[in-house]
Chain A
Amino acid sequence: AQSVTQLDSQVPVFEEAPVELRCNYSSSVSVYLFWYVQYPNQGLQLLLKYLSGSTLVKGINGFEAEFNKSQTSFHLRKPSVHISDTAEYFCAVRKTGANNLFFGTGTRLTVIP
């Protein structure tokens, strides 16, 4: 079975500070990995995805994530956050060839002025 663990349910950070949102997954087979963002009262939007190739993936809004196969992690980072980054962030995994996306429980990022 697959599972996705987001270790922090809430992350407060000051504006212009760096942030890392952690995601670990468990799977015995190859996976695709995703980060989605959900702004208040909206649906989810794709931030970035890892399919294959370079383990460092760049996404929208200055976010990036690094796939670490040995640690089964896909942590999301941004070097300098803005107030507008306040949102909930979801890590998701799909087993290659499978139908379902499995989501983590989410991390609420709050950027403090």
Chain B
Amino acid sequence: DAGITQSPRHKVTETGTPVTLRCHQTENHRYMYWYRQDPGHGLRLIHYSYGVKDTDKGEVSDGYSVSRSKTEDFLLTLESATSSQTSVYFCAISVRLDDNEQFFGPGTRLTVL
């Protein structure tokens, strides 16, 4: 295990409510990522971080924001959840940005009703 935990592991919420997912790592890796996994799409990058308070957008960032106030925590926030954001969310970490292996967390299954 790469020392990555995600919380919560499962969440059901209603449209329009805010939701925050947490990724926590014990590896002290600099780079952290948030992906969503949907049938027929594979994994798509939402946002990533290259250090404390340094973040950038991925290919599907609309409707999501992130924050990283500590090396070990990377938060993903849905300000106003929509049904299209029902998905499985994975956090990943890597040693370097060009590091060729990313280590993945166990995932969070989010359902927006």
User: A interface vs B, CB < 8 Å?
Assistant: 4, 32, 34, 36, 41-46, 49, 51, 90, 92, 94, 97, 99-101, 103-106
Please tell me which one of the listed residues A46, A100, A103, A106 contacts residue B101 in the complex, with CB atoms under 8 A apart: A46
| Contacts A97-B98, A99-B48, A100-B58 known; 5 new A-B pairs at CB < 8 A | A42-B107, A90-B43, A99-B56, A100-B45, A105-B40
Are A104 and B104 neighbours in the complex by a CB distance under 8 Å? no
In the complex, whether B106 has a CB less than 8 A from a CB of chain A is yes
Measured CA separation A52–B98 after assembly (Å): 14
Given contacts A99-B56, A100-B58, A100-B59, contact A44 B100 (CB under 8 A): no
Decide: A49 near B106, CB < 8 A? Known: A90-B43, A99-B48, A104-B42: no
Cβ 8 A contact of A90, one of B42, B105, B106: B42
Could you list some 21 contacts between A and B, CB below 8 A? A34-B100, A34-B101, A41-B106, A43-B4, A43-B104, A43-B106, A43-B107, A44-B92, A46-B101, A92-B43, A94-B100, A97-B98, A99-B48, A99-B56, A100-B48, A103-B42, A103-B44, A104-B42, A105-B41, A105-B42, A106-B42
Taking the closest CB of chain B, its distance from the CB of A25, in whole angstroms, is 13
Q: How large is the interface on B (under 10, 10 to 19, 20 to 34, 35 or more residues)?
A: 20 to 34
Instruction: Decide if A43 touches B98 in the complex (CB within 8 Å).
Output: no
B106's closest neighbor in chain A, by CB? A43
* A43, B93: Cα distance in complex, Å: 12
Tell me, yes or no, whether B90 is within 8 Å of chain A by CB.
Answer: yes
Q: Does B113 contact A (CB under 8 A)?
A: no
Interface 0/1 of B1-19, CB less than 8 Å to A: 0001000000000000000
Which residues of chain A come closer than 8 Å to B100, judged between CB atoms?
Answer: 32, 34, 49, 51, 94
Please name all residues of chain B whose beta carbon is closer than 8 Å to the beta carbon of A44 when the two chains form the complex.
43, 90, 92, 104
B48 to chain A, nearest CB (A): 7
CB-CB under 8 A from B48, the residues of chain A are 99-100
- The complex places the Cα of A51 from the Cα of B99 at a distance, in Å, of 11
Bound complex: CA of A97 vs CA of B104, how far in Å? 21
Query: Pick the contact of B102 from A41, A51, A101 — CB < 8 Å?
Result: A101
